Structures are given as structure tokens and as C-alpha cells.
């Protein structure tokens, strides 16, 4: 009975005083385990993880704005995720140890199918989020273009509705009424708004170019939402599904079908060898089942516990340009240094940079201020370092175009600021470069898809063909050997 009161006490303490609960909870768990061992009440040890989980959940129950989350809430989130990851890993390894390698694969197949279904649901949710963000920005943009008071316009757009869109509009309106800027109101009222949109709005507020910036953001968001809703002949998850099904079908065939073929060949043909492809597949299956099965389990657990959750988290969580997260910095490093992704990352960053430079110079800002405004954009960290280098060289008195070249920002941008070639035409050229980078980015994306998908299909065809040949070639060998034994 005392244990139940202890759990209830920490649940209330976690809800009311999360700081005290997070500090005293580990001590209480250790004392509980020590008392259970000392008094030989080993069944009481099970209450320690219950106390741990209940306290963390109680700390997270009160709803708080993301900007106001303190260390107890952040620590509780990470502890719960780590506990779930360890629990899943123990379950997978335990299932592999208890079931054995052969019986484990049906269980793993079920887990993979479940993950694919969850991935499809998340993909649908991400598409809905892009549509939602496009709607919110479009509503704000249309209200500003009509010169309406923004709080009143948002309240009017949300009146009579109780869906998610209306809740977000009312939340933004609440912070606007309290005197916050539009970018800060969006951060507080719509925390899941894409980071690049918030960064562009914040930068445009400083140069009084909000309508033009929102119009550009609105066009980008609508293009992304339309792109995600397009029906493609080959879904990106299709190769993963095919390879996964092929793997489990091959393992099942090596487990049930091929051993029967071996027995038939040995009995009827006095030890005829299997075809080479079947032998290779058998060796691979034996290695997976009896030699390196633990490695497959570890890779499987790593994908489930690390790669997939991290990718989902990166997709769902808005970026923080001024203070990037650790995963964002790692992702920027990978994308910047890989050959193909580097071009896309640089081109996408150039689109935003050229756009804001054009808006800043059009508003009458100096070149120094225009470059400084670009530092708040949601671009790759390594590209931002080049912008900082450019700003430092310009502030040191160097020629603007030469500073662009020395900062490795591209000859096209240097051409826009070259006074010897196009004096007075910087804004026109920046407008042209913005259109060029946008169209070039879309063209390269479509070109990559056109090249990539046929190659993937060919590779999948070779793999599937090899597995099919390896499975059915023993039956052909049996028929061939039987035909040779028939006397005319």
C-alpha cells in the first residue's frame, strides 16, 4: 500500500513541481530498489520503473508552449524516448533469442509491415501539414493585400469554425493583439510553422517588405503542397516494400522449399549439385539464419530505433535557424558534403538569399544591411558561414563582387554586384537570378527523378530475377536429370 501512495505522491509532485520531482525521482527509485533487495521483497523492484514512467508522464501532462518548456519537460521527453527505445531493443533481441533465427523472421516481417503502414500515415500527415501551413500563410497574405487590420481579418477568417486551421488563426491573432510582431506571433501561435517561412517573415519585417515576402512564401508553400499531392506512377516507398517482401520470401523459400529440392536431387540423381545461383542464395540464407543473424537484428533495431525516428523527427520538427539543433547541424553537414545533395542544398540556399537581397535593396537598405539580413534565413549552416565571410569582407572595405568570389558564393551573384559590367542594374539581375535558381532547382529535381527511378527499377529487377531463378532452377534441374534417366 505504501508503494501505491509513493507513486501517487510523485505523480502529483511531477504535475505541480516538475523541478523537484525530476531531482528526487532517481533517488526514490534507487532507495526503492535498495529496500526491496535488503528486505528480500524482489517483487517490489517492479515498482521502480513504474515510478519512473509515472513521474515523467506527470511532468509532461501540463500543456506548455514549446518556447516556455524548461529542462524538466525536455529531460522527461528524452528519458521517455530512451526508455521506449531500450524496451523495443530488448523485445527484439529477446524475441530473436527465444524464437530462434528461423522463427524470428515472420515476427520481423510483421514488424516491417507495421512500420511501412505507420510510415504511410506519417507521410499523409506531413502532406496535410504542408497544406495547413500554405493555408495559414495564404490567409495572412490575402488579409495584408486587402489592407485589413490583421487581427480582425484573422478572427473573421476563423469565425464559425473549430477545426485546426481556425485554432491556429485565433492563436496568432491572440499574440498580435498583445503587441507581438507577426513573426513572433506565428512562432507562439503556430509553433509547427516551417522554419524557413518564419525566418523569411522575421527578416522581411526589419526591412518593411512583409507583403512581398509573404507572397513569395505563399507561392513556395503552394508549390510544395501541390507537389506532394501529385499522383506519381512509382511511390518512393515502393522499392523498400519490394525488397523487403523479396527478402522474406527468399528466406521462406530457403527454409521450406529448397531443402526439399536438395533431398530429391540426392535421392534421385545420386548427389547432383544444386545450381550455382541456388547455392549462393543458400549460403546467404544460412549466414543470415545461423551465422550473422545477430548482425541483422542489430541493423534492424538501429533502423527502427535511430534512423526512422530521427528522420521523422527532423521532418516534423520546425528548424531553428538562429540556434540550430544538433540533428539539424548533422543534417546540414551531410547534405553539404555529399556530391549530389550539395548542389541542391546550395541552389536552394541561393534562392532564399537572392530573394531577400532583392527585397532589402529594393527597400533602400545598404548592401551591408542586406547581407546581414540574409544571416537570419533558414539556409544551410555552411552556406551561412560563406555569407558571414562575405559580410566581413564588405565591411572591411573590399569590393562587393570580389568579396562574393572570395567567399565562394558563385560568379552569378558576383556578376549582379559588379559595377564595371552592370552599374545600376543590380535589382534587375537579382530578380533574374531568383527566377533562374528557382527554375533550375525544379529542373534538376525532375531530372534526378527521371534518371534515378529507372536505375532503381533495373536494380530491383536484377535482384528479383536472381532470387526467382535461384528458387525455381532446382526444379528445372530435377526435371532435366529425370529426363536423362528415361530409356527410349
Flag the least confident range among 192-206, 250-264, 354-368: 250-264
Among 303-307, 446-450, 457-461, the range with the most confident prediction by mean pLDDT is 457-461
C-alpha to C-alpha distance for 11 and 17, rounded to whole angstroms:
10
Count how many residues are written for the chain: 488
As a whole number, mean pLDDT of residues 409-435 equals 82
pLDDT of residue 389: 92
pLDDT of residue 66: 47
* Domain 121-224 CATH assignment equals 3.30.565.10: no
Q: In whole angstroms, how far apart are CA 298 and each of 286, 305, 306?
A: 17, 10, 11
Closest CA to 379 of 331, 428, 427: 331
As a whole number, mean pLDDT of residues 78-107 equals 62
What's the chain's average pLDDT? 75
Regarding predicted confidence, which is higher, 141 or 92? 141
pLDDT, one tens digit per residue, over 2-17 is: 777 778 888 888 877 7
Q: Assess whether pLDDT exceeds 60 at residue 227.
A: no
Among 94-108, 298-312, 438-452, the range with the most confident prediction by mean pLDDT is 438-452
Among 203-207, 218-222, 426-430, 452-456, the range with the most confident prediction by mean pLDDT is 426-430
Half-sphere exposure of 364 (CA within 13 A, CB side): 1
As a whole number, mean pLDDT of residues 107-133 equals 63
As a whole number, mean pLDDT of residues 269-291 equals 71
Regarding predicted confidence, which is higher, 94 or 335? 335
Q: Where are the domains of the chain?
A: 2-100, 121-224, 238-324+457-485, 328-424
Q: Assess whether pLDDT exceeds 50 at residue 231.
A: no
As a whole number, mean pLDDT of residues 222-235 equals 54
The total of other beta-carbon atoms located within 10 Å of residue 308's CB is 15
Query: Does this model's pTM top 0.85?
Result: no
pLDDT of residue 211: 80
Helix/strand/coil percent split, the chain, to 5: 85, 0, 15
φ, ψ for residue 149, nearest 5 deg:
-60, 120
Regarding predicted confidence, which is higher, 104 or 23? 23
Q: Assess whether pLDDT exceeds 60 at residue 228.
A: no
pLDDT, one tens digit per residue, over 302-351 is: 776 667 666 666 666 777 777 777 778 888 888 898 888 888 888 888 88
Q: Assess whether pLDDT exceeds 80 at residue 111.
A: no
pLDDT of residue 326: 78
DSSP helix/strand/coil, 430: helix
Share of the chain above pLDDT 90, in %: 1
pLDDT, one tens digit per residue, over 125-169 is: 555 677 778 788 888 888 887 787 888 888 888 877 777 788 888
Regarding predicted confidence, which is higher, 439 or 266? 439
Helix (H) or strand (E) holding 270, with range, is none
Q: How confident is the model at residue 479 (pLDDT cuts 50, 70, 90)?
A: confident
Among 118-127, 278-287, 314-323, the range with the most confident prediction by mean pLDDT is 278-287
As a whole number, mean pLDDT of residues 267-277 equals 68
Q: In whole angstroms, how far apart are CA 173 and each of 55, 154, 204?
A: 35, 6, 19
Q: How confident is the model at residue 78 (pLDDT cuts 50, 70, 90)?
A: confident
As a whole number, mean pLDDT of residues 34-56 equals 76
Amino acid at each position: 500500500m505504501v508503494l501505491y501512495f509513493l507513486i501517487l505522491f510523485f505523480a502529483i509532485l511531477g504535475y505541480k513541481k516538475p523541478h523537484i520531482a525530476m531531482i528526487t525521482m532517481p533517488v526514490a527509485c534507487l532507495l526503492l530498489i535498495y529496500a526491496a533487495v535488503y528486505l528480500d521483497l524482489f517483487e517490489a523492484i517492479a515498482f521502480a520503473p513504474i515510478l519512473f514512467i509515472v513521474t515523467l508522464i506527470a511532468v509532461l501532462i501540463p500543456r506548455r508552449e514549446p518556447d516556455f518548456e524548461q529542462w524538466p519537460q525536455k529531460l522527461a521527453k528524452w528519458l521517455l524516448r530512451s526508455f521506449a527505445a531500450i524496451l523495443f531493443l530488448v523485445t527484439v533481441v529477446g524475441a530473436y533469442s527465444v524464437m530462434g533465427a528461423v522463427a524470428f523472421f515472420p515476427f520481423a516481417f510483421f514488424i516491417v509491415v507495421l512500420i511501412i503502414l505507420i510510415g504511410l500515415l506519417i507521410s499523409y500527415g506531413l502532406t496535410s501539414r504542408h497544406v495547413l501551413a500554405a493555408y495559414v500563410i495564404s490567409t495572412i497574405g490575402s488579409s495584408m493585400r486587402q489592407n485589413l487590420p490583421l487581427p480582425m481579418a484573422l478572427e473573421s477568417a476563423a469565425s464559425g469554425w473549430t477545426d485546426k486551421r481556425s485554432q491556429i488563426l485565433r492563436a496568432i491573432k491572440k499574440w498580435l493583439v498583445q503587441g507581438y510582431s507577426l513573426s513572433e506571433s506565428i512562432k507562439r501561435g503556430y509553433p509547427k510553422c516551417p522554419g524557413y517561412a518564419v525566418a523569411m517573415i522575421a527578416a522581411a519585417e526589419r526591412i518593411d517588405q512583409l507583403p512581398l515576402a509573404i507572397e513569395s512564401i505563399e507561392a513556395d508553400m503552394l508549390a510544395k503542397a501541390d507537389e506532394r499531392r501529385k499522383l506519381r506512377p512509382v511511390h518512393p516507398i515502393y522499392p523498400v516494400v519490394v525488397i523487403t517482401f523479396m527478402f522474406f520470401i527468399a528466406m521462406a523459400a530457403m527454409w521450406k522449399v529448397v531443402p526439399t529440392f536438395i533431398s530429391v536431387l540426392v535421392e534421385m540423381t545420386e548427389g547432383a549439385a544444386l545450381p550455382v545461383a541456388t547455392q549462393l542464395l543458400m549460403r546467404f540464407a544460412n549466414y543470415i539464419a545461423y551465422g550473422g543473424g545477430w548482425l541483422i537484428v542489430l541493423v534492424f533495431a538501429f533502423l527502427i530505433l535511430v534512423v526512422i525516428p530521427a528522420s521523422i523527427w527532423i521532418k516534423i520538427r520546425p528548424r531553428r535557424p538562429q540556434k540550430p539543433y544538433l540533428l539539424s547541424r548533422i543534417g546540414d553537414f551531410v547534405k553539404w558534403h555529399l556530391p549530389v545533395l550539395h548542389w541542391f542544398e546550395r541552389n536552394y540556399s541561393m534562392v532564399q538569399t537572392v530573394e531577400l537581397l532583392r527585397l532589402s535593396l529594393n527597400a533602400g537598405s545598404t548592401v551591408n544591411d542586406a547581407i546581414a539580413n540574409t544571416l537570419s534565413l533558414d539556409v544551410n549552416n555552411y552556406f551561412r558561414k560563406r555569407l558571414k565571410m562575405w559580410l566581413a569582407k564588405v565591411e572591411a572595405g573590399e569590393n562587393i563582387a570580389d568579396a562574393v568570389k572570395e567567399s565562394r558564393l558563385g560568379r552569378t551573384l558576383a556578376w549582379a554586384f559588379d559595377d564595371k559590367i552592370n552599374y545600376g542594374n543590380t535589382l534587375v539581375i537579382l530578380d533574374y537570378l531568383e527566377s533562374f535558381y528557382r527554375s533550375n532547382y525544379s529542373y534538376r529535381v525532375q531530372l534526378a527523378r527521371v534518371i534515378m527511378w529507372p536505375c532503381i527499377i533495373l536494380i530491383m529487377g536484377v535482384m528479383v530475377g536472381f532470387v526467382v531463378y535461384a528458387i525455381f532452377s532446382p526444379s528445372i534441374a530435377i526435371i532435366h536429370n529425370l529426363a536423362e534417366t528415361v530409356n527410349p
